[in-house]
Amino acid sequence: MTKTTTTTTTNGSGRSGSVEKTSVDGDFYTPPDLRRYRLGDLIRTRPVFVSQLTGVEGAWQVLYVSSNTRSELVPASGIVLVPDKLARRGKAAILAYSPGFRGLGGVCAPSQLLAIGAEPEIAGIEAALARGWLVAMPDGEGLAVSGTGPHTFLAARAGGRMILDMVRAVYRGADLDVPLAPVLAWGYGDGGRAVTAAAELQPWYAPEVDLRGVAAGAVVSDLAALAPAFSRGAGAGLGLAGLIGLARAYDQLPLRHILTVEGLRAMAVAATLTGEELARRFPEPLAHWCTRSDPWNDVWWRRVLSLETLAHTAPVVPVHLYHGGGDGLVPVHSGRRTLIAYRQRGTEVSWREYDAGHLATAGKASADVLVRLSRNLTDRPPNKANALPSPGPAPHP
């Protein structure tokens, strides 16, 4: 049975609210009725032990409120890691860290993986903690939280909202006993798309978040450029996952009509699997499950891919993009196009290319990324976008 206590806290805006502290496993990831909450409200916290990491003073799983592609309130989860020694004022930061794709379901969310000692990406996290930065890792929409799956893989705008609202939750989480600090964002692969989307959304969606800089690896602005790589070969499972994730994110649109009966059955199974399980169970080309050989070229799917195109808006903070020249999963030329698109919009953007493949680049770039983000932290004044009013919810697609 779960033991739950409620603590009254005061958030940064002066409003008080209640945060549940759940001490036993039970239903931590079961969300309450969200009608009394607002974006970024912290619903529930729970301390956890993270055996994989060193230099951690405390770790909390968190449940908070975010929104989806239709601007509806949705529950979200993540994990907050506090270093042994926080950096001094002027050097301290909250790092919103968004890792690559882990899966559509099952135990694959960062808040779960770190709690059981199975998180595959810890080098960058530990390096950030060693700098005295607090690390906030959102799980992403549809992961961990009961009844919300599958994960909305490739839906960068939903991922960006999850990131910004988790930062809000940290800001308001008086019971977490962490100081307010400027924000940096770092992600790779689909996590890289999410942090760049967060940078584009921040001025109107979360103007109070003092975002200073973004680093994103293996990012493609136009999802149509990924279609060939995600339709066959090593990326076939990711293609099916992308179809499922985007269909979940835009479930108000008729997107499943391209699937055969066998494809609908495969979709139901795949929606519950981790990334590794997907690759093993579904090696067939994406067209195997569809009624047409080029499912991404369907009129409704073209609309969804256009809605998820990045670089139509220029972030007001510096963006550092990096890519592996030998990346066989996310082609490097698609990353270069992202760079060009941001430059054409007037974004302050930098680029680094590594002589490595997809997985190797993620580790190889860590030291460079942290140096660049540290410069963003110290060289940039507080984000001017904080003064901008929010224009309200985004229009529905």
User: Can you tell me the distance from the alpha carbon of 39 to that of 167, in angstroms, rounded to the nearest whole number?
Assistant: 11
Q: Give me the pLDDT at residue 246, please.
A: 96
pLDDT-derived band at 389 (thresholds 50, 70, 90) equals very low
From first CA to last CA, the distance across the chain in angstroms is 42
In Å, how far are 74, 154, 274, 294, 302 from 287, measured between CA atoms? 32, 19, 21, 7, 16
Q: Give me the pLDDT at residue 23, please.
A: 41
User: Can you tell me the distance from the alpha carbon of 370 to that of 375, in angstroms, rounded to the nearest whole number?
Assistant: 9
Q: Give me the pLDDT at residue 20, please.
A: 62
**Residue range 373-396: mean pLDDT, rounded:** 60
- % of the chain surpassing 90 pLDDT: 77
Query: 373 vs 12, which has greater pLDDT?
Result: 373
In Å, how far are 155, 245, 257 from 251, measured between CA atoms? 12, 10, 12
- % of the chain surpassing 70 pLDDT: 88
- Asked if the model's pLDDT at residue 329 lies above 50, the reply is yes
Q: Do the domains 4-222+314-382 and 224-307 sit in the same CATH topology, yes or no?
A: no
pLDDT tens, 249-285?
Answer: 999 999 999 999 999 999 999 999 999 999 899 999 9
Pull the structure tokens for residue 226. 């990924």
**Residue range 78-101: mean pLDDT, rounded:** 92
Domain range summary for the chain, segments of one domain joined by +: 4-222+314-382, 224-307
* Helix (H), strand (E), coil (C) string for the chain: CCCEEEEEEECCCCCEEEEEEECCCCCCCCCCCHHHCCCCCEEEEEECCCCCCCCEEEEEEEEEEEECCCCCEEEEEEEEEEECCCCCCCCCCEEEEECCCCECCCCCCHHHHHHHCCCCCCHHHHHHHHCCCEEEEECCCCCCCCCCCCCCCCCHHHHHHHHHHHHHHHHHCHHHCCCCCCEEEEEECHHHHHHHHHHHHHHHHCCCCCEEEEEEECCCCCHHHHCCCCCCHHHHHHHHHHHHHHHHHCCCCCCHHHECHHHHHHHHHHCCCEHHHHHHHCCCCHHHHECCCCHHHCHHHHHHHHHCCCCCCCCCCCEEEEEECCCCCCCHHHHHHHHHHHHHCCCCEEEEEECCCHHHHHHHCHHHHHHHHHHHHHHCCCCHHHHCCCCCCCCCC
CATH architecture observed for domain 4-222+314-382 = 3-Layer(aba) Sandwich (3.40)
> What's the topology of domain 224-307?
434 Repressor (Amino-terminal Domain) (1.10.260)
- Asked if the model's pLDDT at residue 9 lies above 60, the reply is no
Q: Give me the pLDDT at residue 390, please.
A: 39
Average pLDDT, the chain: 88
- Asked if the model's pLDDT at residue 98 lies above 50, the reply is yes
Close Cβ partners of 113 (under 8 Å, ≥ 6 residues apart): 102, 107, 119, 120
